Structure 1
Amino acid sequence: MTETVALTSTRKSHPALAAAVEARAASAQLRVADAITKFAGSMMFVYAHIVIFAVWMVVFEKSPWPTLTLVVSLEAIFLSTFVMIGQNRQAAFQQAKADHDFAVSEQELHANTDLTKAIHAMTEQLHAQICLGNPASPST
């Protein structure tokens, strides 16, 4: 367990992930949404609902179906909203990651192009010196 903690603490995060974590930590609304989404996506949520609805139907209401239907429908509306919030955040994170990765790949492409041009120029100089017997000419 300590090895895993040590590995994760030294591993670098993607800049888009670091920005997303900072944004979530800075916003109270996102922290609340994260907590609700985390709980709603757990088995504890399922178990709690089984117990609550069973107790409700057996103990508290003689005819639980109309009220239960209303409560479950309202809960479904709110939970689907939290799912959409999570999907929107995930889409924004994926777009930020894609934008960052594109910018990095463009920088690499330009660096590789410059290196290829420099290697080509040096190859031409070596060819001129070795094969053609021309003295080296200073070039940029």
Structure 2
Amino acid sequence: MRTSQDRFADAITALAGTMGFVYVHAVWFAVWIALNLGLFGRSAVFDPYPFGLLTTIVSLEAIFLSTFVMVSQNRQAARENVRADLDFETNLRAEIWAVHTGKALGLNPEEIERHVQETIRQSRRAMDSEAGVQPVEPEAL
């Protein structure tokens, strides 16, 4: 459900995030500076040192590029919020189904929860420390 402005901002941001963009600008700056230092003749100079016109153009480009990047980032954040909401809903549904399935099978939910909490603690210790704590083996689940 992107608008044409959203698509344009995404396209500009995608282009600006490439090495091709960097290379084009490096060549453009080199040609501009060489031209305005008089390397192609004094008659070709139109923006003498300290290159005020180039500075203005680059500043305007930076303003617009940063705006396009912010628009794209805001849209990405909105998409991430939707994904997080869907993940939460999916996890909640799975939890409710698991509890009901466990009850139907006659399992003790408190015992299972204690096992889950211990497994989580052991996994976190394994991730947080380098003290040789082993992660939970799949067979132990």
Query: TM-score scaled to structure 2, two decimals?
Result: 0.62
Q: Which runs of 4+ in 1 moved over 4 A?
A: none
Question: Quick one: which amino acid aligns to residue 120 of structure 1?
Answer: G
Give the superposed CA RMSD.
1.7
In structure 2, how many angstroms separate the alpha carbons of the residues matched to 1:85 and 1:41? Answer: 14
Question: Quick one: which amino acid aligns to residue 101 of structure 1?
Answer: D
Displacement of 1:94 in angstroms is 1.1
* Residue 30 (structure 1) aligns with: 6
* Residue 6 (structure 1) aligns with: none
Q: Select the structure with the greater relative contact order (CA < 8 A; seq sep ≥ 6).
A: 1
Q: Percent identity?
A: 49
* Residue 115 (structure 1) aligns with: 101
User: Does the residue aligned with 1:120 lie in a helix, a strand or coil?
Assistant: coil
Structure 2 unaligned spans of 5+: 36-44, 108-141
Deviations 1:19-74 (Å, cap 9, x if unpaired)? xxxx24xx221221121111111111111111222222222432352112211111
Matches within 5 A, 1:37-76: 37-59=13-35, 60=45, 61-76=47-62
Count of aligned pairs: 97
Question: Quick one: which amino acid aligns to residue 9 of structure 2?
Answer: A
Query: TM-score scaled to structure 1, two decimals?
Result: 0.62
The answer to whether the 8 Å contact 1:56/1:64 transfers is no
Question: Quick one: which amino acid aligns to residue 115 of structure 1?
Answer: T
